[in-house]
Amino acid sequence: MPELPEVETTRRGLLPHVVGRRVRKMILRRPDLRLPIPPELPKLLRDQPILDISRRAKYLLMETGRGSALWHLGMSGSLRVLPAATPLRAHDHVDVELDSGHVLRFNDPRRFGLLLWQPLGTIHPLLQSLGPEPLSDDFDGVAFNGDHLFRLSRGRSAPVKTFLMDQSVVVGVGNIYAAEALFAAGIAPTREAGKVSLDRYRKLADAVRVILAHAIDRGGTTLRDFISPDGLPGYFEQELLVYGRGGEPCRVCGRRLREDRIGQRASVWCSHCQR
């Protein structure tokens, strides 16, 4: 599944091609993805200038004067800007035709993505219970840092990896980046969240910030399906230290990396470097 760096990479790639353009029309080739697509969406967007493409967690918001089209890439979705005459491929479900002669095209083979509507001045229910943004110093009055993680973790017996991936705690830290951040902070993913010290949570929050920012700079992580709007893959996968490397030697100490399932997700860590 595309994680926060992949979604942010998509957002940044779309901005120069989409913002300031006017929507000529929207073409829906199916009525639903993971959820039904609001049938009034083409009418709402027609002739509207696109004011911005923003991001909340793993959702992209195409903002107009009437409200925002809310996109989620799901497991395999991609948004690309293409010449309007570009032939359709299988699973090209949505086109947003722009006055530039290009289309914003949504392709989603598995149809786990979303296309919904957020009226102006409202917050969609899917966005209402989300935690702070990990790369923001202050989001709606809540700062993401070690003190925030420590405060919310008290009394929690769940593994710290599961806690870190809880979207009500902090958004956008999925399986890949949780594994990498815990390795960088030297924390075993199996340790109870409530038993991690404040100092270690401060190291973990710093690691989350550094790793996510670096992954964005590198264009995200290419795993199975993700490609950026320009059709190029991300390159952070080449730098992964633990994720997907179960049984291989740790690149720090040389010991064999452990692999197990934590919260139904594959997890890899070094039992020597992470405690």
Phi and psi at 160, nearest 5°, equal -60, -30
Selecting among 22, 245, 251, 265, the annotated active-site residue is 265
Catalytic residue list contains 46: no
Collapse the DSSP code of 161 into the 3-class scheme (helix H, G, I; strand E, B; otherwise coil) and give the result: helix
Give the burial string for 175-198 (b: 16+ CB within 10 Å, else e).
Answer: bbbbbbbbbbbebbbbbebeebee
Instruction: Give the C-alpha separation, 162 to 220, whole Å.
Output: 22
Tell me whether residue 12 is one of the annotated catalytic residues: no
Active-site residue among 3, 6, 63, 133?
A: 3
83 assigned to active site: no
Block residue for tokens 């960088």: 184
Q: How far apart are the first and last CA of the chain?
A: 28
Rounded CA separation 235/239 (Å)? 8
Other Cβ atoms less than 10 A from the Cβ of 90: the count is 6
Binding residues for DNA: 91, 110, 156
Q: Which of 2, 132, 159, 189 is catalytic?
A: 2
- C-alpha closest to that of 182 among 248, 275, 247: 275
Concerning whether 239 is annotated as a catalytic residue, the answer is no
Question: Pick the catalytic residue: 11, 58, 80, 258?
Answer: 58
Active-site amino acid positions: 2-3, 58, 265
